[in-house]
Structure 1
Amino acid sequence: MRFYKIIALTCFLATSLLSAQNKEISLEEIWNGTFRTQGMDALHSLKNGKQYSVLNFDRTTGTTTIDIYDYNTLEKTKTLVSSGDIEELRYFSDYTFSANENQVLLATNEESIFRRSTLGNYYVFNTQTGVVTEVAAEKIQEPTFSPDGKKVAYARDNNIFVKNLETGTTTQITFDGVKNEIINGITDWVYEEEFAFVRAFEWNADSNKIAFIRFDETLVPEFSMDVYGDKLYQTQTVFKYPKAGEANAIVSLHIHDLERKNTREVTLDKEYYDFYIPRIKWTNDANVLSAQYMNRHQNELDLWMIDAKKNTAFIAIAEKDKAYIDVTDNLTFLKDDSFIWTSEKDGYNHIYHHDKKGKLINQITKGNWEITNYYGFDAKSNTIYYQSVENGPINRDIYSIRLNGTKKQRLSANTGTNYADFSADFTYFINTFSNASTPPIYTLNSAKTGKVLKQIKDNKKVLEDLAEYKVSAKEFSTIAVNGNDLNMWTIKPKDFDPSKSYPLFMFQYSGPGSQQVANKWNSANDYWHQHLAQQGYVVVCVDGRGTGFKGSEFKKVTQKELGKFEVEDQIEAAKKLGALKYIDQSRIGIWGWSYGGFMSSNALLKGNDVFKMAIAVAPVTSWRFYDSIYTERYMTTPQENASGYDDNSPINHVDKLKGDYLLIHGTADDNVHVQNTMRMVEALVQANKQFEWMIYPDKNHGIYGGNTRLHLYTKMTNYIKENL
């Protein structure tokens, strides 16, 4: 066994953590905001490049404001909008500027639909006149300014509408929307969840055309969830959910011409069957729309350029992969309509420059490391700004590079996780830095040199508060498992004694392209793991094969075999850790949520001679129960790959259960349906295997609300104490 590169992370105030540490982190403190850090909500750079806006909420008065700050001084220069000055609004929860920033779209009374989608009431505030205009009397979805700021397009009841802000008139442009049948301009459930977008309509540059995707869900099977509520009879939520191998929505691309008042469907000279349209985006040419078309296996992607005036189209990029292609949001059109594109085609995610016909001009970044975020292109200096893991896969840094691939420069100085928010003219960026021992620090930096100009927030108080607690360092290392050096972190009890023997509790997620071993500040789970370390447990996390940011070969090795190699890695890692003198190999447990729950279940069953106990929260127990886009991306369909689905699904291995097993699920989980747990329970019962389980009524995949999280983590903590 090899352990190396252990990092004893320190920071400018770390010494304060070494003294007076006698308090233990309580479960109540984790969930009541005791360790909450300050951030900068809804940060937006104004187009003048000199100022930025932030959404602020005054808890004493209950008012919301959009405040303007000066980049140079970081001083607040004015309050642009205050809910206290608007009769129609008690508060607002989000805002969007028009292109000329003379108007602001304000959201209020927002209610969640699914993970990313919301309904809300929206108002347009004119910053020049102070006039407030209600967009619609009803709750609507995804209101979006036209580029000229004269109109707002939005969706309601599965149709698209356009409000003319100058005349006050509203025009309906689609009419066939029907719940659970036809959706115009808003994604269906599976697109929202797996392609990560909701608004499926886009304005062109001249504000006279709207492109949109239409979803025909008629043939998609329905899934229903009982909602128990507090009434005498339960109600039911019914929605279209395509499980692996089942019918998807039939999608089509349309362009509506507001001047001609007509809509036409886009037709292409390539025949697609059972396909996806995961992205659409207008080019700088008001008549040319780009659209990404992808086959159902998601291993072929075509970038089309569609001329709405000439009714012609051509493929600019056609990518193929032996496994799958990740959809990119990094398509950027330059003034000449050449474009920037990111791709994994050389084995790592990198930036490419293509001419407007799709011909490769050059590969801008190269190396055995990944681009993790693309921030934008500054035309004045011909410079691209991006985030990458060039400084090691557990870290994130900010870089600049010329369009021709020269003069690459690291702009972030501190080792850990850096995120950037650039000013509109790329003069400045606000850097958010944290690592495992440093809470988020916000600084104003020069985009040219990376030099820190001013500090904005440092969250020093969180460190000062934590100085009173028994907080252990998170140690980063690698562990050699199954021919790979896997990233790992370890949290040991504060009074750790290597001559003693400790129980081991492992945490992981393990899903394709994911990462849990990252050098950044604490999440709520980190505080819980610290709480467990205070109770005498050694807590470890290992990112096995299939996780991200180490190249496509490492990530895609799990193709068609989800749950095979990842589980093998967790079992082998547990064996190696169990061989350490200070680990009691008879007391090893594992837990995870969602994909991590699928993994912890499999680890306990397939590694029944290694793991004593496992906790699975909202687990997939058979990939046959999960959605088409996610599952088939990695597994193809059950009809094509039955053994891949069944050989690694925990529901088919219940006869192997020896240890203690806790199964937890929310009944209103629209993502990983409670069906997964119910079928697992039935399989365990029929195998005459004893276990424990907990059901949270009307809770979704996140299992939260009120005291729910506290109850959940108390339940898990007690179970660990009793069984490990």
Structure 2
Amino acid sequence: MKKYLLFLLFICTSVFAQKIDINNLNWLPNSHSFWVSKDNNVSVYDVDKLDKQNTILSKEQLAEAGFKGEIEDLVWNDLKTKVLVYANSKKVWRDNTRGDYWYFDLASGKGKQLGKNLDASSLMFAKFSSDNENVAYVSKHNIYVENLNSGKITPVTTDGTDKIINGTFDWVYEEELAARDGFRWSPDGKSIAFWRVDATSTKFHYMINNTDSLYPTIIPVEYPKAGEKPSSVKIGIVNIDSLQTNWLNIPGEPDNNYLVRMKWINNESVMVIQLNRNQNQVTMYDCNAKSGLARVIYKEESNFWIDVFDISSGLYDIFPCQFVDNEKSFLWSSDADGWMHIYKISLDGKSKELVTKTNFDAYYKAYNEKTKTIYFIASPDDATQRYLYETNLNSKKTKRVTPAIFEGSNRYIFSTDAAYAQHTNASISRDYNQRLIALSGHQKIYPKEADVFAAPHRDYSLEKFKVKTVDGIDIDGIMAKPLDFDASKKYPVFFYVYGEPMATVANDSPYFNEFIAALIPKGYIGIAMDNRGTPAMKGTQWRKSIYKNIGIINTHDQAMAAKEVLKWDFIDADRVAIHGWSGGGAVTLNLIFQYPDIYKTGIAIAAVTDQHFYDNIYTERYMGLPEENEATYIQASPVTHAKNLKGNLLYIHGTGDDNVHYKNAEVLINELVKYDKMFDLMIYPNRSHSIDEGEGTSQHLMDTFVRYTEKNCSPGAK
């Protein structure tokens, strides 16, 4: 029966494929097939048979079902015989996570819209039950189950409000714990495990919209700031027949811990990962779905913070433990021994075994159950680069998978069976190039033509460098130069900074920061450097030396590294500019305020000007609670040092920023006014943290940036 159903998936039109858009491929579950959509026609390819294109949904079928919009995503059942089509999405916080869903049976080709009696574009995270009888989704903070045969829609939670959030999360869980999808079907499809967030005690931060109506409107955002308790969170198991909910009895105060991830182990138990408020203790529980009893599987403590997931990956809702050995053990990543390593831990908690026995960081990416192969990203020799490595669960032998020809940065998007991957390679000297590969032997599958390593499309050159600071710290850097660079002349230098634990900027990649890149051909040198505390693959001490010192160690490292750069003969030390955004904006302000002898011009965008103003999860993770570290909070904040401004400062912020609130701008402005410090200001009404909404905004921001730089830090070699 199963083989017959699988066959039905591919009975539609089969033609020889002309060109496959592997840039936009999406892997199917439990396989190495993928789908692509073009003009609302969905095609599926099997990596083993790429000469066959199987159209499983056509725009005519969509139209017949009443579908309106463009296909944005597909959600598959495990058998790959049914599919949900996602469209008409709307932005929630950072991403468009609510929209409309249509259900299609691929055997009949027939479809219908789900949740038709609910608000348009309000459905979130729809997914099939394992028995394919139902689909569950969230709408307006309640979870619903819709029967695919009868069409009956049943609310399985009913208390959802703006403050009681079922099946998804509040702003801070999404932003800082990469958690969006807040419910999971049980393996038998009879129950749903879900998060319930009670934000009743979480205070609102109010934003004001002054432009879209005659009178201002107030926009409330649930936003627990540093020092404020988290929202109360618990996990329930609801039976979809009885609609009875059992709550898991996880130790600890629900408003003083974080329930970061969960996953069903079997029909009787759920694995839950908990972080304490300080995020320096992680506990894994095996929770009984009926009694709610929570048994400790594993606990880890640290003198720093603990990374439950790769904070720099940009991925959401990823469960950080991979079950192995017929689900008797799981893989877990930890940097407790000085390097990020992969461990195998038994589900009974009785054994812990080091898997990656290397003296370099190993960041887990995928596991092939059939071959027992573990894939991870590492860069033992150059932290600006990324390469794929593998080890085997049985042999523990480690080897590099990425061939030497692919120098630079390498990204892999793995098939769900971890047998194949979409591979993207790039470096400062070659543009992005892409292929499908079989991971065994890194064998190229598509395209058939020879790999093309083209030069990047840019009007400047890039090169890597290192400097050693007066403190003996080796700093990696990327330098951009105009094509007509003359080493006998002196150039203005523009530093691009971030400097916090969420991202690196000195990466072996083809392009420089877009704002500064626009200035390089006019006669500027661009510099990007990574200080201690950035997530470079240099070991635990490098990444976590910034603990309780954000705004201090990173600021010092950047300034000391800049001093070394200013010693170069072709750098004009009288023309020095700096730019950063968000956390990088805070570093920019601290540098221009504290080191006016180095930095003459600064452009800070959407900066955190006082550590107390940012959210509790991020700030307390890296700085500790304010009550434990108040003196450092004050010392780390740019407002404390604003009175020292001597150079040129342009500050930019959007009033609709729900991440780094416009409050940061006004407090900084007050302090600069207090000390009679002259500065320039550009405010974008109702723009969010990215300042990209509204006609003409992006171009205006770019023009403002370029003109201010040219006026205050003149271009050209001298």
One fold, TM greater than 0.5? yes
Cross-structure match for 1:585: 573
In the TM superposition, what whole-angstrom CA distance separates every residue of 1:624-664 from its partner, at most 9, and x where no partner exists?
Answer: 11000000001112222111111121111111000000000
Are the structure 2 counterparts of residues 47 and 245 from structure 1 closer, same or farther at C-alpha, using a change threshold of 3 Å?
A: closer
Determine whether 1:83 maps to 2:59.
yes
Cross-structure match for 2:333: 342
Determine whether 1:255 maps to 2:255.
no
For 1:68, give the aligned amino acid. Answer: V
Deviation at 1:73, TM superposition (A): 5.1
Instruction: Identify which of 54, 57, 70 aligns with 2:36.
Output: 54
For 2:531, give the aligned amino acid. Answer: G
Determine whether 1:168 maps to 2:151.
yes
Cross-structure match for 2:277: 296
Are the structure 2 counterparts of residues 603 and 357 from structure 1 closer, same or farther at C-alpha, using a change threshold of 3 Å?
A: same
In structure 2, stretches of 5+ residues that fail to align are 1-20, 310-318, 714-718
User: Matches of 1:513 and 1:483 in 2, distance apart?
Assistant: 24
Cross-structure match for 1:110: 89
| SS of equivalent to 1:693 | strand
User: Matches of 2:692 and 2:612 in 1, distance apart?
Assistant: 26
Counting only pairs closer than 5 Å after superposition, residues 1-40 of structure 1 correspond to structure 2 as: 40=23
| SS of equivalent to 2:447 | strand
Counting only pairs closer than 5 Å after superposition, residues 317-332 of structure 1 correspond to structure 2 as: 317-328=298-309, 329-332=319-322
Instruction: Identify which of 429, 439, 445 aligns with 1:453.
Output: 445
Contact 1:428 1:447 in 2 (8 A): yes
Instruction: Identify which of 433, 438, 444 aligns with 1:441.
Output: 433
Higher mean displacement: 571-580 or 586-595: 571-580
Determine whether 1:132 maps to 2:75.
no
Contact 2:308 2:320 in 1 (8 A): no
Instruction: Identify which of 697, 715, 722 aligns with 2:704.
Output: 715
Contact 1:390 1:397 in 2 (8 A): no
Instruction: Identify which of 297, 301, 306 aligns with 2:287.
Output: 306
Cross-structure match for 2:402: 412
Higher mean displacement: 71-80 or 167-176: 71-80
Contact 2:332 2:342 in 1 (8 A): yes
Deviation at 1:722, TM superposition (A): 0.6
User: Matches of 1:457 and 1:718 in 2, distance apart?
Assistant: 45
Deviation at 1:323, TM superposition (A): 1.4
Are the structure 2 counterparts of residues 302 and 555 from structure 1 closer, same or farther at C-alpha, using a change threshold of 3 Å?
A: same
Cross-structure match for 1:369: 360
Determine whether 1:503 maps to 2:499.
no
Deviation at 1:418, TM superposition (A): 1.6
Deviation at 1:294, TM superposition (A): 1.2
Cross-structure match for 1:67: 43
In structure 1, stretches of 5+ residues that fail to align are 1-37, 57-62
Determine whether 1:216 maps to 2:190.
no
For 2:91, give the aligned amino acid. Answer: S
| SS of equivalent to 1:319 | strand
Deviation at 1:509, TM superposition (A): 0.6
Contact 1:116 1:198 in 2 (8 A): no
Contact 2:533 2:543 in 1 (8 A): yes
User: Matches of 1:407 and 1:320 in 2, distance apart?
Assistant: 28
In the TM superposition, what whole-angstrom CA distance separates every residue of 1:652-711 from its partner, at most 9, and x where no partner exists?
Answer: 111100000000001110000011011111111111000001011111001103321111
| SS of equivalent to 2:628 | coil
Cross-structure match for 1:529: 516
User: Matches of 2:479 and 2:170 in 1, distance apart?
Assistant: 41
Instruction: Identify which of 501, 510, 529 aligns with 1:542.
Output: 529
Are the structure 2 counterparts of residues 668 and 452 from structure 1 closer, same or farther at C-alpha, using a change threshold of 3 Å?
A: same
Determine whether 1:194 maps to 2:176.
yes
Deviation at 1:337, TM superposition (A): 3.0
User: Matches of 1:310 and 1:264 in 2, distance apart?
Assistant: 7
Deviation at 1:228, TM superposition (A): 3.5
Cross-structure match for 2:166: 184
Instruction: Identify which of 668, 676, 694 aligns with 1:680.
Output: 668
User: Matches of 1:45 and 1:606 in 2, distance apart?
Assistant: 52
Cross-structure match for 1:14: none
Could you tell me the TM-score, scaled by structure 2's length?
A: 0.90
In the TM superposition, what whole-angstrom CA distance separates every residue of 1:296-348 from its partner, at most 9, and x where no partner exists?
Answer: 11111100011224543211110111111112342112323311111112122
In the TM superposition, what whole-angstrom CA distance separates every residue of 1:208-232 from its partner, at most 9, and x where no partner exists?
Answer: 1111111111111111111234432
Deviation at 1:719, TM superposition (A): 0.8
Cross-structure match for 1:393: 383
User: Matches of 1:77 and 1:291 in 2, distance apart?
Assistant: 41
Counting only pairs closer than 5 Å after superposition, residues 650-665 of structure 1 correspond to structure 2 as: 650-665=638-653
In the TM superposition, what whole-angstrom CA distance separates every residue of 1:514-533 from its partner, at most 9, and x where no partner exists?
Answer: 211111233xx544433322
Instruction: Identify which of 564, 573, 577 aligns with 2:552.
Output: 564
Contact 1:67 1:76 in 2 (8 A): no
| SS of equivalent to 2:620 | helix
Deviation at 1:425, TM superposition (A): 3.9
Are the structure 2 counterparts of residues 55 and 462 from structure 1 closer, same or farther at C-alpha, using a change threshold of 3 Å?
A: farther
Contact 1:668 1:700 in 2 (8 A): yes
Are the structure 2 counterparts of residues 563 and 697 from structure 1 closer, same or farther at C-alpha, using a change threshold of 3 Å?
A: same
Determine whether 1:488 maps to 2:494.
no
Contact 1:600 1:615 in 2 (8 A): yes
Contact 1:364 1:404 in 2 (8 A): no
Instruction: Identify which of 114, 125, 131 aligns with 1:142.
Output: 125
| SS of equivalent to 1:224 | strand
Could you tell me the TM-score, scaled by structure 1's length?
A: 0.89
Deviation at 1:460, TM superposition (A): 6.5
User: Matches of 2:36 and 2:143 in 1, distance apart?
Assistant: 30
User: Matches of 1:621 and 1:366 in 2, distance apart?
Assistant: 42
Contact 1:153 1:160 in 2 (8 A): yes
User: Matches of 2:408 and 2:415 in 1, distance apart?
Assistant: 23
C-alpha root-mean-square deviation of aligned residues, in Å?
Answer: 2.1
For 1:187, give the aligned amino acid. Answer: F
User: Matches of 2:419 and 2:247 in 1, distance apart?
Assistant: 42
